[in-house]
Amino acid sequence: MRAIRVASATLLAATALTLTAPTASAAVADDTDTNNNITSFGFRVTPSTIAAGGQVTLSVDGCEGNTTVTSGVFDDAQIPKGQQSTTATVFEDAKPGAMYEVTFDCKGEKGTTDLTIATGRPTHHPTHHPTAPVRHGVRAGVGGSLGGLDLHEIALGSALIVGTLGTAYYWTRRRTGDSNS
């Protein structure tokens, strides 16, 4: 009889932990899934992180017409029908660490992606050859699985887990009148 109570309490605790886990992972997933564009054509900016003054390749797949690419960080670009890519030069005064939206327009259908400006300057530029590359240290911050959680959410999750474990402990330790059965 005791084995059945222990198994029931363990199952109750496991169920409670399982039901609280999706809420925490959903909060983190919402912060990372900001580019969920669905278009009939494919598009990309390569590289997705570039230093101010650097050159990016703008590519499109499956567009049956001319594609216009716009952003606040480089001059508007055109990808003519039949071609798949073009290049654009990022403005020298682009703010390091900023994220700019890049919009691809194929016959009125629009898709967007992000372009991040890195700190430092490019080590190679077609019209500029520096004698030594500019080096900067790593910029670290909160990352990993705790980036999207705040102290209030962590406390609430901990309270739910402690309450579940306490309930499981209570029911396993509870004495019944037929304990000798």
> 39, 63 in Cβ contact below 8 A?
no
Looking at CATH, the fold of the domain delimited by 42-125 is given as Immunoglobulin-like (2.60.40)
74 pLDDT exceeds 90? yes
Q: What is the pLDDT of residues 30-66, one digit of tens each?
A: 444 444 578 888 999 999 899 988 999 999 998 888 9
- The more confident residue out of 13 and 70 is 70
Please tell me whether the overall predicted TM-score, pTM, comes out greater than 0.75 for this model.
no
Residue range 145-152: average pLDDT? 64
Q: Please report the DSSP string for 34-85 in residue order.
A: ------SSEEEEESSEEETT-EEEEEEES-SS-EEEEESSS--EEE-TT--E
Instruction: Report domain extents, the chain.
Output: 2-32+150-173, 42-125
Q: What is the pLDDT of residues 157-174, one digit of tens each?
A: 889 999 999 888 888 887
Residue range 90-108: average pLDDT? 91
Which residues have a Cβ under 8 Å from the Cβ of 113 and sit 6 or more positions away?
35, 37, 43, 44, 45, 48, 101, 102, 104
